[in-house]
Structure 1
C-alpha cells in the first residue's frame, strides 16, 4: 500500500518527485490509515490511503496559501474542489493536480457503496472545504476563535464525519440512519475523532506556535481562557484522556446495539457485523493516531531548519502557473 500510494502521489504530481522520494514513506500517511480501517478489502483500503495522502497535501497547500497570502489562489482552489466533488469524472484531467487528485480519489471511493452514501460523503466534504475557508480567513486576519467556536470548527477541519463515513466503506455496508444517529454509536464515533483532533493539536502545538498559528485548541485556551502554555497543555491532556475513558464506557452500549440488531435475519446479521467492525475500528483510531504522531516526520519539528516551515512542502501554488 505504501508503495502504491507513493506511486499515486508521483503519477498525480501531488508532490515533487524529490520530496516523494525523501519524505513520503517517513510521513506515514498510509500507515495511519492501515492501522484504522482494519478488515477493509484491499481495493477499498488503497483508495482510502490515497485519499488520506491527498488530504494531507491539500492541508499543506492551504497552509502555504495562508503563509504567502495567496487569497485568490485559495479562492479558486476552493471552488474547483467543490466542483470536483460533485462531478469527479469531469475533473480527472484538471490542470491543477490537487483538483484532479481529489476527482480520482472520490471517484474510486464512490464505487464501493450506494449513491445515498456518496451523497452523504459529498455533503460532509463540502462542509469541510467551507470550514477550511473559515480557517483561512481567521489565520489571515490573525483571529483566534474562542474555545467553543474552535471545537465546532475543528470537527469540520479534521473531517470527523468523513473518516466516520469511511468506516462503512471499510465494512462494506452502508448503515441506516437509525444506526448512524443512535446516541451511543454517534458518541463513540465523535469521541474517537475528538481524541485524534485534540492529540493532533497537542503534537502540532510547537510547530503552530512557531508559525504564529491561530487554529489550535491550546492556542484558544491561552488566548481566551487566560491559561499559561503549561496549563493549556495540561488541559489538552485532560480532555484527551477523557475521550479515552468515556469511549470505553460508550463502547459497551454500541456492542449492545450490535447484538440487538443481530436478530437472526440475514439483514440483522449483516448490520450487527458491520456495527461491530465500525466500532472496532473506532477503537483502532486511538492507537493508530497515537503511533502516527510519534513516528511521522510531519511532527518532528526539532529536526527542521525552520520550525514553522515543513521541509516536505512545496511553496509553489500548483495549477496557477
Structure 2
C-alpha cells in the first residue's frame, strides 16, 4: 500500500498555538507530595525505570502530577493507585509509541497479550517476565481486591481496549493505513486511556454504580465526549513531537491529510473540535437526569450518577493544565539521527533484572520526590 508522506515538523516559533475551550475549574490534590514519594518507591521496586533514561522520562512526564490534577478529591490510597497505573502505562506508551516495539507487529502483539493475560488473572513468575507485566500484576491485584465483580470487569475491559489500540496502530504503521477523521475519533477514545481512568474516578464515590447505569447510553455519551476532549487536547500539545517522530495518529495530522490543508489550519480545526466536544459534554451532562429517569433509575442511584458525572470535569481540565506543566511533549530530547530515544526500548527488550534493596529503593524514592 502506498504511504502518504509525513508532514514536515512544524516550527513552534511560527505556528500559533490556539487557545483551547475547557470551561471547568482547575484543581490539585493536596496529598500529591505523599503520593509522589510512594510512586517513586514503587517504580524502583518494580524496575519500571531500569536506567537513568527511563527515570528522566518519568520526571519529564510527571504521572503523579497528572493523577493529582485529574483526581483532586481522591484519598491517598486511590491517588497512589492512580499514580501507579499512570506510571506503568506511560512507560508502556514510551515503548510502543516511540520505540521499535510499536513498529513490529509481533513484538507489540506479544506485549499486549501478556498484559491482557494479567488482567484475566494469569499468574506470573516475575523472575522471567518483563517489569511491565510484573508491575501490571501488582497494581491490578491491589485494584481488584475487595471490589465488585461488575466494576472490575468494566475496568479490565476498558484497560484491554486501551492496550489493544496499540496493536491497531502498529498494524496501521506496518500496512500504511491512514485513518480518516471519524475513524480516528472512535479510535482515539480508546488510545487516550480515559475509559479506565474514569472507572478509577468511580472509586471516589460512596458506593458503586449499577452496571446498567455505568454502561448505559446516557453515561456512555458523557464518557465518550470527555475522552474525545482529552485526546484532542493531547493531540494539540503533542503535535510537534509526534510529527518529528513520524507518528501520524494525531488529530491535527489526520485533519491536515483529510482536508488537504496546512498544519496551522488543521490546528485551528482541531481547536474547534475541542470546543465542540466540551459543549457536547455539557449538553450530555444536562440531559443525564431525564435519561436516567426514563431508564427507571431510582433517586439515590441517580444522585450517585450525577456525582460521578461531575468527576469528569476536573479530569478534562486537569489534563489540559498538566500539558502546560510537563516536558513530556517537547522535542529537545529526541536523537538527531532519527533513532528512538534510549528510554523507548528499555523494558520490552530485556527481562533479566535484579530488584533493588529496600534501603536503596527508599533512598531513591525520597531523592526523586524532593
TM-score (norm 2): 0.76
Q: Root-mean-square deviation (CA), in Å?
A: 2.8
Who is 1:304 aligned against?
A: 333
What pairs up with 1:175-214 in 2 under 5 angstroms? 175-214=209-248
Shift of 1:64: 4.0
Shift of 1:172: 4.9
Contact 1:150/1:217 (CA < 8 Å) preserved in 2? yes
Q: Secondary structure at the match of 1:35?
A: helix
Call closer, same or farther: CA 1:37–1:112 in 2, change over 3 Å.
Answer: farther
Who is 1:4 aligned against?
A: 38
Contact 2:94/2:343 (CA < 8 Å) preserved in 1? yes
Residues 284-321 of structure 1, C-alpha deviation per residue, up to 9 Å, x if partnerless? 012101111111110122x3354877867243334356
Call closer, same or farther: CA 1:120–1:230 in 2, change over 3 Å.
Answer: same
Call closer, same or farther: CA 1:68–1:158 in 2, change over 3 Å.
Answer: closer
Equivalent of 1:166, from 170, 179, 200?
200
Q: Secondary structure at the match of 1:175?
A: coil
CA distance in 2, matches of 1:21, 1:77: 21
Residues 33-70 of structure 1, C-alpha deviation per residue, up to 9 Å, x if partnerless? 12222333321221121101111101111124447844
CA distance in 1, matches of 2:216, 2:160: 24
Q: Say whether 1:289 aligns with 2:323.
A: no
Shift of 1:106: 1.2
Call closer, same or farther: CA 1:225–1:135 in 2, change over 3 Å.
Answer: same
Who is 2:366 aligned against?
A: none
Who is 1:109 aligned against?
A: 143
Number of residues of Structure 1 aligned to a counterpart in Structure 2: 314
Who is 1:119 aligned against?
A: 153
Q: Which runs of 5+ in 2 are unaligned?
A: 1-34, 353-370
CA distance in 1, matches of 2:112, 2:55: 28
Shift of 1:160: 3.2
Contact 2:226/2:281 (CA < 8 Å) preserved in 1? yes
Shift of 1:76: 2.1
Call closer, same or farther: CA 1:150–1:134 in 2, change over 3 Å.
Answer: same
Who is 1:96 aligned against?
A: 130
Who is 2:350 aligned against?
A: 319
Call closer, same or farther: CA 1:314–1:66 in 2, change over 3 Å.
Answer: closer
CA distance in 2, matches of 1:184, 1:238: 24
CA distance in 2, matches of 1:137, 1:238: 30
Q: Which has the higher contact order (CA 8 A, sep 6+)?
A: 2
Structure 1 stretch displaced more, 51-60 or 114-123: 114-123
Shift of 1:187: 2.1
Contact 1:158/1:197 (CA < 8 Å) preserved in 2? yes
CA distance in 1, matches of 2:55, 2:317: 27
CA distance in 2, matches of 1:225, 1:128: 28
Shift of 1:235: 0.9
Q: Name the one with the larger helix percent.
A: 1
Call closer, same or farther: CA 1:184–1:297 in 2, change over 3 Å.
Answer: same
CA distance in 2, matches of 1:92, 1:133: 24
CA distance in 2, matches of 1:105, 1:57: 14
Q: Say whether 1:280 aligns with 2:315.
A: no
Q: Say whether 1:59 aligns with 2:93.
A: yes
CA distance in 1, matches of 2:287, 2:190: 26
Shift of 1:255: 5.9
CA distance in 1, matches of 2:263, 2:210: 44
Contact 1:138/1:214 (CA < 8 Å) preserved in 2? no
Call closer, same or farther: CA 1:310–1:258 in 2, change over 3 Å.
Answer: farther
